[in-house]
C-alpha cells in the first residue's frame, strides 16, 4: 500500500511540474520546445542581429529596414536589436552563434558561408557574373534558391540574398594595371579556399583573414592589400591605409540573410512569414542603396588621394584565363551539379 501511495505522489508531482513548465502557444516552438535565450522579460521575442560592416554601410541600413518592418508587422511581439562593426564577432563566430541559438541573425558574404555549406563557394568563382542584372536573375533562380535550403541541414535558415557587390583590389605597394602587377602582393582574402587559390593563380601571396582584423592588418603592413566593393573600401576608410585601387571586378559577392533555425522554428507560422517577407523587402532596399553607393564612392576614393587604375579588357581576359585551372580544381569540392547549374543559369540570364 505504501509503495502505491509513493507512486501516486510521484506521478502527481510529475504532472504538476509539466503543467507549470510548459510555454504558451506563442513561446512554444513548432515541435513544442519552449523559447529560452531569445525572449525578453515582457514575453517579446528578441532578434539579436549582428554584421561585420559599420553603421554607415547599406548593409546596416538594410538591417534597420528589417527591424522597422518586423516590429511593425508583429505589433512589437518581436523586437530586433541591431549590432554592426563586428560588435558580436566575425562572420564565422556569428554564424556559429546562430547554430548554437545564442544569436538570431547575421548577414555574411557567401564566401565564409562556404565553410558551412561548400556549395556556396560557387559564388566565389572569379568573373562568374558579368553584371548586377545577371546576378539578380541567377540569385532569384532555382539553383541559387536551392542552395538556401541546404543551410537548414546546418541549423541555419537562409531567408534572402542581399548584395555586397563587385569586389575590387586595393593595395599600398604599386598600381595594379596588368596581371604581372599582382606578383608577390600580400593580399588579404576572405576565409575561403577558392579565393585563396585564385589569388595565388594571379601571382599574389594571399592570406585569409576575418574582416574584423583587416583594417589593423592594412595599417600595420601585415598585408599589402585587400579586395572589397568600393562602398566598403570608402565607408570603412581603407583609403587611410591604402594608396592604389583598381577596377578588377573579379568576383560579385552576394550576402545571405541568415537566421538561427532554432529561433525560426520557435516562431508561429505567421511570424515565420513576417520575418521571411521582411528579409526580402529589406533586401530590395539594401540592394538599391548598395548600388547607389558602389556607383559613387570610387570618385570619393580618388578625392581622398587613392590612385585609380583601369583594368583593360585584354588584361582582364588574362586574369580570367589564369584562374580557369582553379575553377576546375574546385568543381568537385563545390559540386559539379551546382557549378554546372549556376553556369547554365548565367548563360540563360545573359541571353534574355
> Where do contacts with ligand KDG occur on this chain (CB under 6 A)?
51-53, 59, 91, 107-109, 164, 190, 211, 228, 253
| Integer Cα distance of 114 and 338 in angstroms | 13
How far CA 194 is from CA of 125, 208, 289, 325, 328, in Å, comes to: 7, 11, 29, 11, 11
- 109 vs 262, beta carbon nearer ligand KDG: 109
CB of 164 to ligand KDG, least distance (A): 5
Least distance (Å) between residue 321 CB and ligand KDG? 25
Decide whether 35 or 193 has the Cβ nearer to ligand KDG: 193
CA end-to-end distance (rounded Å), the chain: 83
Query: What's the DSSP call for residue 28?
Result: B
Closer residue to ligand KDG (CB): 242 or 253: 253
Grid cell digits, residue 237: 576608410
Shortest Cβ distance from residue 211 to ligand KDG (Å)?
A: 3
195's CB contacts (< 8 A; 6+ apart) are 111, 124, 189, 206, 208, 251
Sign of CA pseudo-dihedral 322, 297, 132, 156: positive
Q: Which residue's CB is nearer to ligand KDG, number 228 or number 242?
A: 228
Nearer to ligand KDG, 103 or 109 (CB): 109
Query: Smallest distance, Å, CB 271 to ligand KDG?
Result: 25
What gap in Å lies between CA 69 and CA 317, rounded to an integer? 44
Q: Which of 281, 290, 278, 335 is nearest to 147 (CA)?
A: 335
CB of 52 to ligand KDG, least distance (A): 2
CB closest to ligand KDG, residue no = 52
The Cα 271–Cα 289 span in angstroms is 27
Question: For ligand KDG, which is the closer residue by CB, 53 or 179?
Answer: 53
How far CA 220 is from CA of 20, 56, 132, 172, in Å, comes to: 58, 24, 34, 11
Kindly state the smallest distance separating residue 20's Cβ from ligand KDG, in Å.
42
Question: Smallest gap, in angstroms, from Cβ of residue 83 to ligand KDG?
Answer: 11
Closer residue to ligand KDG (CB): 52 or 158: 52
- Residue 74 or 253: the one with the smaller Cβ distance to ligand KDG is 253
State which residue, 228 or 309, has the beta carbon closest to ligand KDG.
228
Cell of 218: 592594412
What is the phi/psi pair of residue 313, to 5°? -60, -40
CB of 202 to ligand KDG, least distance (A): 17
Write down the least CB distance from residue 229 to ligand KDG, Å.
8
Distance of closest approach, residue 102 Cβ to ligand KDG, in angstroms? 18
Q: Which residue has the cell 594571379?
A: 202
Cα 47 to Cα 37: distance, rounded to the nearest angstrom: 10
Separation of alpha carbons 292 and 126, rounded Å: 23
CB neighbour burial string for 154-190, b if at least 16 within 10 angstroms, e if fewer: bbbbbbbbbbbbbbbbbbbebebebbebbeebbbbbb
DSSP state of 305: T
Nearer to ligand KDG, 194 or 267 (CB): 194
Amino acid at each position: 500500500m505504501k509503495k502505491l501511495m509513493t507512486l501516486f505522489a510521484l506521478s502527481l508531482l510529475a504532472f504538476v511540474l509539466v503543467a507549470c513548465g510548459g510555454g504558451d502557444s506563442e513561446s512554444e516552438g513548432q515541435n513544442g520546445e519552449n523559447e529560452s535565450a531569445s525572449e525578453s522579460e515582457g514575453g517579446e521575442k528578441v532578434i539579436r542581429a549582428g554584421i561585420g560592416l559599420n553603421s554607415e554601410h547599406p548593409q546596416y541600413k538594410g538591417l534597420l529596414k528589417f527591424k522597422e518592418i518586423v516590429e511593425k508587422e508583429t505589433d512589437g511581439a518581436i523586437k530586433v536589436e541591431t549590432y554592426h562593426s563586428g560588435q558580436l564577432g566575425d562572420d564565422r563566430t556569428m554564424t556559429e552563434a546562430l547554430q548554437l541559438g545564442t544569436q538570431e541573425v547575421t548577414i555574411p558574404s557567401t564566401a565564409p558561408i562556404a565553410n558551412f555549406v561548400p556549395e556556396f563557394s560557387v559564388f566565389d568563382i572569379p568573373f562568374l557574373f558579368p553584371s548586377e542584372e545577371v546576378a539578380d536573375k541567377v540569385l532569384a533562380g532555382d539553383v541559387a534558391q536551392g542552395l538556401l535550403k541546404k543551410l537548414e541541414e546546418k541549423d541555419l535558415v537562409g531567408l534572402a540574398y542581399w548584395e555586397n557587390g563587385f569586389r575590387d583590389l586595393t593595395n599600398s605597394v604599386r598600381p595594379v594595371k596588368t596581371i604581372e602587377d599582382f606578383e608577390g602582393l600580400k593580399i588579404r582574402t576572405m576565409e575561403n579556399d577558392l579565393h585563396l587559390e585564385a589569388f595565388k593563380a594571379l601571382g599574389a601571396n594571399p592570406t585569409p583573414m576575418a574582416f574584423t582584423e583587416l583594417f589593423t592588418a592594412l595599417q600595420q603592413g601585415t598585408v599589402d592589400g585587400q579586395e572589397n566593393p568600393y562602398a566598403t573600401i570608402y565607408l570603412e576608410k581603407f583609403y587611410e591605409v591604402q594608396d592604389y585601387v583598381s577596377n578588377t571586378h573579379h568576383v560579385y559577392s552576394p550576402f545571405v540573410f541568415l537566421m538561427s533555425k532554432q529561433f525560426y522554428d520557435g516562431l508561429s507560422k505567421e511570424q515565420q512569414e513576417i520575418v521571411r517577407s521582411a528579409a526580402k523587402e529589406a533586401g530590395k532596399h539594401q540592394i538599391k542603396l548598395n548600388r547607389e553607393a558602389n556607383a559613387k564612392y570610387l570618385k570619393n576614393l580618388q578625392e581622398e588621394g587613392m590612385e585609380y587604375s583601369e583594368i583593360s579588357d585584354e588584361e582582364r581576359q588574362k586574369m580570367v584565363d589564369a584562374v580557369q585551372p582553379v575553377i576546375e580544381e574546385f568543381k568537385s569540392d563545390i559540386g559539379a551539379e551546382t557549378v554546372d547549374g549556376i553556369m547554365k543559369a548565367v548563360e540563360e540570364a545573359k541571353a534574355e
